[in-house]
Copies of this chain bind each other. A is one copy, B any other.
Amino acid sequence: MYATRRARLRDRCNASGSASALVTRPANVRYLTGAAPHGAALLLGATEDLLMYAAPAEPPPDTPSGTARPDDALRIHTLSAPGGDPAVAAAECAAAQGADSLAVEEHHLTVSRHRAIGSVAPHLRLADVAGAVEQLRVVKDEEEISCLRVGAEITDQALGELLESILVGRTERHLALELERRLVDHGADGPAFRTSVGTGPHSGRRRHRPTDRRVEEGDFLSVRLGATYHGYRCEIGRTFVIGTSPADWQIALYDLVFASQRAGREALVPGAAYRDVDRAARQVLDSAGYTEGLPGTTGHGVGLEIDEEPQLAPAAMGKLDACVPVTVEPGVHLPGRGGVRIDDTLVVRPEADGGPELLTITTKELLAL
């Protein structure tokens, strides 16, 4: 599988005139080799592929994702010198193999590292891989999707358990830590991102960092969490109301965001332009007068990173393919009052296969807790 992915990247590089490529961005190295120890660099060489590790201070960890499973076409080498840069060493190997050009990830390599590569391999013409690996990563295979599916199940479980507990009086920080503990309890590698719990006036903020504010009667409570499972990251966001009788403004705002999120979900069909999915969700909010303060995107791809291509945004270029997992996560936050976010992870599927596959299945009814 990894060898196939590397072959696809090699084809792309060859097509743009580079015989060899150097991949350094950790998620990209992992995608192409199954492993991404700190600082590792992958050389796609003319004759062979080489995964270069920094010198380990100790044996590599025995987590499943920590170690590359070498395949026929991948050689693994550990730098012996402490403090060496695997990317520089890999470039030196490319030069030694007689490559005349090397495509590097200019969006990841720092200027200093790029210069160091240039100086150990002065005859190597350095080109730019640009986002080639990120592009390969957009459409997922079924194995990747099943990792996301398991991660979403874990996430739903963790959230479901929290909802059965008493919430009033607990702080945002505690609820967030509790959710993360439950993710791990149910088999996650860890949280996919920093869990966000917002209460009362903090609710509905997309990246709210949990504070010591306690849940109160009458609050909106919004949570955003996700599990990482075998490296794949999903996310869910829900908003609840605390107490038995939501206020009218809370019901109205919830219904609005729900309608926006549904419109976004329903727009997820193969061939739909990214910007049209965004517009479907956005115009529901726009037409209700919530034009100001909307985030730049209403969704994004997920996978080895929690926020990857595509972006569902007004200026995004491109169209959805089948088997692309994305989030749909519109929200409204009213300063001083709070707000609502509803966030799902879904996989784009053809209509004939039943349309978008919802991975995060926790109810989106407005629950009063």
Asked whether any CB of chain B lies closer than 8 Å to the CB of A296, the reply is yes
Measured CB to CB, the closest approach of chain B to A318, in angstroms, equals 15
A27 to B315, CA, bound (A): 31
Given the complex, which residues of B lie within 8 Å of A295, measured CB to CB?
A: 57-58
Flag the segment in A134-142, A176-184, A225-233, A358-366 that touches B. Answer: A176-184
Measured CB to CB, the closest approach of chain B to A105, in angstroms, equals 8
Partner of A115 from B55, B82, B106, B293 at Cβ < 8 Å: B106
Copies in the complex: 2
Flag the segment in A44-52, A95-103, A200-208, A257-265 that touches B. Answer: A200-208
A62-82, CB < 8 A from B:
62-63, 66, 82
Given the complex, which residues of B lie within 8 Å of A211, measured CB to CB?
A: 62-63
Residue from A108, A111, A128, A184 having most chain B Cβ neighbours under 10 A:
A111
Q: Are A61 and B296 in contact (CB under 8 A)?
A: no
The residue on B at minimum CB distance from A180 is B177
A108 to B112, CA, bound (A): 8
Measured CB to CB, the closest approach of chain B to A67, in angstroms, equals 12
Measured CB to CB, the closest approach of chain B to A235, in angstroms, equals 16
Measured CB to CB, the closest approach of chain B to A64, in angstroms, equals 10
Q: Are B111 and A296 in contact (CB under 8 A)?
A: no
14 residue pairs A–B, Cβ–Cβ below 8 Å: A55-B296, A57-B296, A62-B211, A63-B211, A66-B209, A83-B296, A104-B111, A106-B111, A107-B111, A109-B110, A109-B111, A177-B177, A177-B184, A181-B181
